[in-house]
Amino acid sequence: MVPLSLLWLPILVSAVFVFIASNILWMALPFWHRSDYGKLAEEKAVLDALSSVKSGQYIVPCADWRKLTPEQRTEMQSGANALLLVRNPGTFNFGKTLTLWFLYTILISIFVGYVTGLARPIGTKYIEVFRVAGAAAVLAYAFRTVTDAIWYGKPWKIVIKEMIDGVIYSLLTAGAFGWLWPR
């Protein structure tokens, strides 16, 4: 077993690699994620309707499905439904968000280090560390949005792109751990 105290460098380096890669994928490559979000035809009307709603997560229509009559269920299922994340007021602190994202990548790297440290001893060859760290990282980064497609209807096209991002992050994480694994 390798203690986490010996893995601080691969944890930090892998988090930095993922942070840089994610910024490139989301901000510097406009063709990759820019089209993931559509524009509503009546955007102003929707924003006006949401102007008094407090920040939170909502589902529309919101009903206790156990109490609905069959007719009410049919009516609700024949129309649109939506999941909303509302930020009101719509202020966005880019610095805070990037800081939280970086802390999240460190947290994932800590868990990747923990799992890899349990599975591989000091002095393990690069490729063996790469395999374990990569498998742990892909679970965290690549599969985190699959449930959104299954349960909430997030388009699979977008989920697949986010999974590709996750595989890239996982390869970088695995490479950092393999490279900087204690000898």
> Hey, what are 155's tokens?
């388009």
pLDDT at 80: 86
pLDDT value at 28 more than 90? yes
Largest CA distance in the chain: 68
d(CA 104, CA 118): 21
d(CA 117, CA 133): 9
Find the mean pLDDT for residues 62-86.
Answer: 87
> Hey, what are 105's tokens?
């990548």
Residue in the block written with tokens 């001893």: 121
Close Cβ partners of 124 (under 8 Å, ≥ 6 residues apart):
181
Residues 111-159 have pLDDT tens digits of 999 999 999 999 999 999 999 999 999 999 999 999 999 998 899 999 9
Confidence of residue 30 (pLDDT cuts 50, 70, 90): confident
pLDDT value at 91 more than 90? no
CA end-to-end distance (rounded Å), the chain: 13
Confidence of residue 99 (pLDDT cuts 50, 70, 90): very high
